[in-house]
Amino acid sequence: MVLFPTTTESAGTPGGRPALTIDGETISRSELFGAAAAVAEQVAGSGPVAVNATPSIRTAIAFLGCLQAGVPAVPVPPDAGPRERSHILSDSGATLWIGNRPDDLPDELATLTVDSAATGTPPAEPDPDSAALIMYTSGTTGAPKGALVSRRALQAQVDGLAAAWDWTPEDVLVHGLPLFHVHGLVLGMLAPLRIGASLVHTGRPRPASYAAAAEAGGTMFFGVPTVWSRIAAEPDSCRALSSARLLVSGSAGLPPTVFRDVQALAGQGPVERYGMTETLITIAARLDHDRVPGWVGEPIAGVEARILDEQGYPVISDGDTIGDLQIRGATLFDGYLNRAEATEESFSDDGWFRTGDVAAKNDQGQHRIVGRAKQDLIKSGGYRIGAGEIEAVLLDYPGIEEVAVVGVPDADLGQRIVAYVVGELSDETAVIDWVAGQLSVHKRPREIRRVDELPRNAMGKIQKSLLS
């Protein structure tokens, strides 16, 4: 198994385009792989290598060099604080640091400088089952855990999505996503390198930058919901994307209103997909299927999904009945580094990974993600209710710009449905009645709380644990 072809035939990209363009800086495929081989020669035989994942050509060279050498790369967020950075370095056992060196790094951790003009000889292809990446989870409970992602999983991930989206070397991918998460690093950089396509990374995901890239020939565009919302708010930029072959949204649910706004301006709404650090992207809306807001598609090749009720039985495939989503297949991680007990707890007795997400499936095998079981599954009055379904309805109400639905303790109901809303509202009772008229009555919010903004993390995901 060759993860990244480096033969003469694949030394360039179609039309002589650069392999990578990051914030205006370019590099050809032959230059990129030559510089990466020089890094591989220097890191070969070392332990894990921490990479300061700034959006830059040197960062791309660093990741590719580690992968060529068969050395696990550890993405480190550039904005990580001293405590987070220290945990990642100590927990991963990083032996080298690549990138700008913060003042708080331990003296014994050596720094390697990347030379984009250097060249080397690519080593033999590493074991496909060896760890390629150690990616740290968001750490919603306790310190972040390092997920071991193998080379084989990366291959399955890229090839599965390439088939679902007809991704070819002729494509030019455009995005401005961070290079330390699955979305930006694996889908956004490693995938085009394996496929032989080009990447244009805009530095920051500004609407004008996406529009300019579209006019320059971009064919695929990635973004999180916040990015798509901002693009939709700038009609000229959004219309420029009408030349694109595919728009993709991920990392959080895309509000139906944003889907419809982008569709009206760009001629197509973004397809959605589902995944997490431990599974990579496992479910995706296919290019040749109808796009329905809120639905993330079907498992990619090599992946299976099931949805179980509280008794452990499969739920009805009616598109409405929700349950716990579990995954197994080729893209799964190999466990948490140094956390055997946590790894064991994350899998069912028959080998399925417990995602911790709540989902529904229709009779065509398409999936709808309701949210996280711990924060988006609300048990009220004996009913199991998905927060995401209520949020989608609320976002259609005039004046509501953003919303987060949570369950709060209630002596009578067990949990009471509360909606935190950003926007202008004159009659909160009317909003509650609106939801009751759109969904089952028991799914209506019992309370509307207006806020100026919702708390979000670096990827734009709403942090419901901070709502009280």
Q: If pLDDT is split at 50, 70 and 90, which confidence band does 8 have? A: very low
For residue 438, the model assigns a pLDDT of: 82
Name the residue with tokens 């197994």: 328
Residues 66-80: tens digit of each pLDDT? 999 999 999 998 988
For residue 236, the model assigns a pLDDT of: 97
Residues 372-388: tens digit of each pLDDT? 777 777 878 767 787 88
Strands 49-52, 280-284: pairing kind: unpaired
Say if CB 154 and CB 3 are below 8 A apart.
yes
Calculate what percentage of the chain has a pLDDT beyond 70: 96
Domain 8-204, CATH number (from 3.40.50.12780, 1.10.540.10, 3.40.50.300, 3.90.1210.10): 3.40.50.12780
Q: Does domain 381-466 have CATH number 3.30.300.30?
A: yes
The amino acid sitting at 296 is: V
Residues 51-107: tens digit of each pLDDT? 999 999 999 999 999 999 999 999 998 988 888 899 899 999 999 999 999 988 999
- For the chain, the structural domain boundaries read 8-204, 270-373, 381-466
Say if CB 20 and CB 32 are below 8 A apart.
yes
For residue 12, the model assigns a pLDDT of: 60
For residue 47, the model assigns a pLDDT of: 95
| Separation of alpha carbons 286 and 271, rounded Å | 8
Structural element, H or E, at residue 59: helix 57-69
φ, ψ of residue 425 in degrees (nearest 5): -130, 135
Say if CB 261 and CB 207 are below 8 A apart.
no
**274 versus 15: which is more confidently predicted?**
274
Partners of 299 in the beta sheet?
283
Q: How far is CA 459 from CA 138, 158, 176, 180, 183, in A?
A: 10, 21, 11, 10, 10
φ, ψ of residue 138 in degrees (nearest 5): -70, -15
CATH superfamily of 270-373: Luciferase; Domain 3 (2.30.38.10)
For residue 142, the model assigns a pLDDT of: 63
The amino acid sitting at 226 is: T
Name the nearest CA neighbour of 305 among 274, 336, 335: 274
Q: If pLDDT is split at 50, 70 and 90, which confidence band does 126 have? A: very high
φ, ψ of residue 56 in degrees (nearest 5): -155, 160
For the whole model, what pTM was predicted?
0.84
Q: If pLDDT is split at 50, 70 and 90, which confidence band does 400 have? A: very high
DSSP 230-268: HHHTSHHHHHHGGG-SEEEE-SSPPPHHHHHHHHHHHSS
Mean pLDDT (whole number) for 126-150: 86
Residues 333-372: tens digit of each pLDDT? 999 999 999 999 999 999 999 999 999 999 999 999 987 7
